[in-house]
Amino acid sequence: MAKATKYVSKVADEHGNIAWTAEENQIWQALITRQLSTVKNTACDEFNEGLEKLNLPIDRIPQLEEVSEVLRATTGWSCEPVPALIGFGEFFRLLSEKKFPVATFIRSQEEFDYLQEPDIFHEIYGHCALLTNESFANYTQAYGMMGLNASKEDRVFLARLYWFTVEFGLLDTPKGLRVYGGGILSSPTETEYALNDKNVERKPLDVLDVLRTQYRIDILQPVYFMLTKVSDLDEIRKLEVEDIMALVEQAKKIGLHPAKFELKAS
């Protein structure tokens, strides 16, 4: 999570509001208009229900307090403004306290279609809608608590659990494949690819399998893990921390699956 970025988060004024430029608001409008046109037959029902609750503005970037008001009323969460990138320790702490970290910058026009680091559109549109869902919200908090006291090595394994659920999770529903991962929801390219590409591997989610699966942040994912509904996350959440960490140890002993992509040089 802590790596170089060219983006700088904006600082709120004494009232907690951020002054967004006309250009930044236009980028938000273009992003959300494009994504809303795809969600009916691609996003899961739980996400669409959350979008209705948030009632996000189309013509401007919402203030964080506008989103937090809805989250507090539904699941007790809130948005927490953070720098463009934060370390694992801070990330886990905030999640454990039901504070969702939101970097207060929006991507440039040059990176409109793809951005490696999460901007305010990714965080608000991609994640906050589902944070109105009790199962998703409770799982996200439990994940934060899980990572608080984990070692640096163990956090690398735990990152895969977040990646393949919260960021790139799919649902295999009676209506067909649907998306609940924010990394897919905020990208039309990845949405089309994840749901329809014939070369993609889609697997029922098994925690040990996930912990052994490598990923890269700068490519379309070659493998996705599926639940049947968002409330299936309750089964992972109900595992004791000791059980999850035992699976981490097991993953270490067995070893990682061979990467389905070219590994980047260290």
- CA distances from residue 193 to 40, 56, 105 in whole angstroms, order as listed: 16, 26, 27
3-state secondary structure of 107: coil
Residue 55 to residue 13: CA distance in whole angstroms = 24
Residue 229 to residue 173: CA distance in whole angstroms = 7
Residue 101 to residue 83: CA distance in whole angstroms = 9
134 assigned to a ligand binding site = no
Residue 14 to residue 64: CA distance in whole angstroms = 14
Instruction: Please answer whether residues 125 and 185 qualify as being in contact, where contact means their C-beta atoms are separated by less than 8 angstroms.
Output: yes
Longest CA–CA span in the chain (Å) reads 53
15 assigned to a ligand binding site = no
Angle (CA) 28-31-34 rounded to 5° is 140
Amino acid at site 139: Y
Token pair for 211? 């912990």
167 assigned to a ligand binding site = yes
Instruction: Please answer whether residues 105 and 119 qualify as being in contact, where contact means their C-beta atoms are separated by less than 8 angstroms.
Output: yes
The label of the residue with tokens 């979008």 reads: 51
Residues 6+ apart with CB under 8 A from 46: 130, 133, 136, 180, 229, 230
Which residue positions form the known binding site?
A: 122, 127, 167
What residue numbers does the annotated binding site for Fe cation cover? 122, 127, 167
